[in-house]
Amino acid sequence: MAENKNLSRRKFLINSSLAAATVPFLQSSCKQNVAATEETNSEESFEFAFLTDIHIKPEMNAPIGFQMAIDKVNELNPDFVITGGDLVYDAMRGNYEKSESLFNLYATMAKGFKMPVYNCLGNHDLFAIYEESPENEDHPDYKYGMWERHFGKSYYSFTHKGWHFITLNSLDVTPNKRYKSSFHQEQLQWLKNEIEQIDKATPIVITTHIPMICTYTQLNGGNSRVVDNAPEVFKLLENHNLKLVLQGHIHWKEFGMVNDRFHFLTGGSIAGNGWKGRRHNTREGFVKVKITGNDFTWEYVDHGWETERLKLATES
């Protein structure tokens, strides 16, 4: 009987998620708003979850896997969630109805989090940027438009219990209609103004989809897989208390410290290799970060998708 109930629940999730793709988005905690600074004791602690590369779509049982991650986060009950980009798969090739249904699916499911959600833009979230897209740059949702219509500004900040969080947009588009990894100049000017208003002792966390610093190329070769002008951001933060850079995109897990200045953490992925298994042998999961005073600890949380995926494969 328990197995039948679980199977029915999985079927319900698939059907309800497909239906949700057609439901207009209603504003919720997915919408970013800059929060007011909160006075806090320097030793006050809190936790947040970092989920990156969700790649939600109706196929491959992705709604079941994402729901498992949501349930696990709710069980851990952090203060809030930060996402690391690539919320959907895929809007780059356009097709308005399909892309809109993907964003609606993500937005509807994300309402299941019992805490605020602060989203980051990923390359797969860029609308209609590829040459093969039936829409072009004249479409009002082109590039950042669809994402911003659903979730607000693609770069913003908020403060929580004395820590300042800055989410950046690490994507732009090349003249030959491909995505590129870059912080555009308007955003850099905003960041400069933002940093000037922050006390130099305030701990800062940066979130970016494309990594700002990464060891992938040193191990595997290929392109750099980092934001082209990341040094400009590091320069702006040079005399401030940058504690951590949260990153996505690569679907693997790494953690390091740079010359006693700051840490970087590339947070694996929720979707793994397109919901088909591990990518780079990194188990699907997310990061839980605990802040205590001026320091942090972290752990990688497996939300159980690998086991569930294999179970679903045997049932089909």
Q: Give the bridge partners for 165, in sequence order.
A: 158, 205
Asked whether 306 and 277 are in contact (CB, 8 A), the reply is yes
- Enumerate residues 6+ apart whose C-beta is below 8 A from 152: 31, 32, 33
Of residues 77 and 222, more confidently modeled: 77
pLDDT by residue (tens digit) across 146-180? 999 999 999 999 999 999 999 999 999 999 999 99
pLDDT by residue (tens digit) across 122-139? 999 999 999 999 999 999
Handedness of CA 106, 167, 299, 202 (dihedral sign): negative
Number of folded domains that form the chain: 1
Identify the pLDDT of residue 10: 52
Q: Which two tokens stand for residue 288?
A: 């839980």
- Enumerate residues 6+ apart whose C-beta is below 8 A from 58: 14, 17, 18, 21, 105
Average pLDDT over residues 282-301: 97
Identify the pLDDT of residue 46: 98
Average pLDDT over residues 285-307: 97
For residue 130, give the amino acid letter. Y
**Strands, sheet with 286-292, edge to edge from the N-terminal-most edge strand:** 117-118, 80-83, 45-51, 286-292, 295-301
What share of the chain in percent tops pLDDT 70? 86
Identify the pLDDT of residue 1: 47
Identify the pLDDT of residue 13: 53
Instruction: Answer whether 0.85 is exceeded by the pTM.
Output: yes
Asked whether 253 and 37 are in contact (CB, 8 A), the reply is no
CATH code of the domain covering residue 26: 3.60.21.10
d(CA 112, CA 104): 13
Identify the pLDDT of residue 44: 86
Q: What is the dihedral of CA 214, 119, 126, 138, to 10 degrees?
A: -140
pLDDT at 312 over 80: yes
Q: What are the CA-CA distances from residue 277 to residues 58, 106, 185, 248 (Å)?
A: 17, 21, 38, 17
pLDDT by residue (tens digit) across 64-105? 999 999 999 999 999 999 999 999 999 999 999 999 999 999
Identify the pLDDT of residue 316: 74
Range of the domain at 203: 2-315
pLDDT at 198 over 60: yes
pLDDT by residue (tens digit) across 7-48? 444 554 545 444 444 333 333 333 333 333 344 445 689 999
Identify the pLDDT of residue 223: 85
Identify the pLDDT of residue 120: 98
Q: What is the dihedral of CA 55, 126, 16, 67, to 10 degrees?
A: 30
Angle CA 222–226–227, to nearest 5: 135
Identify the pLDDT of residue 28: 34
SS (H, E, C) the chain: CHHHHHHHHHHHHHHHHHHHCCCCCCCCCCCCCCCCCCCCCCCCEEEEEEECCCCECCCCCHHHHHHHHHHHHHHHCCCEEEECCCCECCCCCCCHHHHHHHHHHHHHHHCCCCCCEECCCCHHHCECCCCCCCCCCCCCCCECHHHHHHHCCCCEEEEECCEEEEECCCEEECCCCCEEECCCHHHHHHHHHHHHCCCCCCEEEEEECCCCCCCHHHHHCCCCCCCCCHHHHHHHCCCCEEEEEEECCCCCEEEEEECCCEEEEEECCCCCCCCCCCECCECCCEEEEEEECCEEEEEEECCCHHHHHHHHHHHC
